[in-house]
Amino acid sequence: MGAHSNLKAWQHARTLAVACARASRLPPPHEQYALADQLRRAAYSAALNIAEGSGRDGARDYRKFLVTARSSLDEVEAILEITGELHYLDGPTLAHLEARRDEAARTLFGLIRSLDRHLTRRAKE
């Protein structure tokens, strides 16, 4: 397994991606190729960018992938808001996905912040 599998940020993003993939089967058929597909792709993107970034050489390149992952989590949040307004998911399912997204975002933010501290220390050397 790659080094990414040890990262809490990746583990939380992976959990979110799986939960979103399962939940994306719930909206009506006319949304399967629009909102549901976008939810899956955004959630997958968050996890996959964390994994890809962890394999990159250099902290700056790694950070770019983490920022992209953070943007994907923001997209998941927006999709969940729209999905909730349209009542495509029941309350408990929506709350579960929102909690998983928030957990992934907090952990990823912490990783980015830690990497920023590392980059700042290296710049001062």
- What structural domains does the chain harbor? 3-124 (1.20.1440.60)
Distance, in Å, from the CA atom of 51 to the CA atom of 60, rounded to the nearest integer, reads 15
What does the pLDDT read at residue 1?
45
Mind listing the pLDDT tens digit for each residue in 44-75? 999 999 999 999 888 899 999 999 999 999 99
Instruction: Taking residues 100-105, report their average pLDDT.
Output: 98
pTM of the model: 0.92
Q: What percent of the chain has pLDDT over 70?
A: 98
Residue 17 sits at the vertex; the CA angle it makes with 67 and 91, to the nearest 5 degrees, is 110
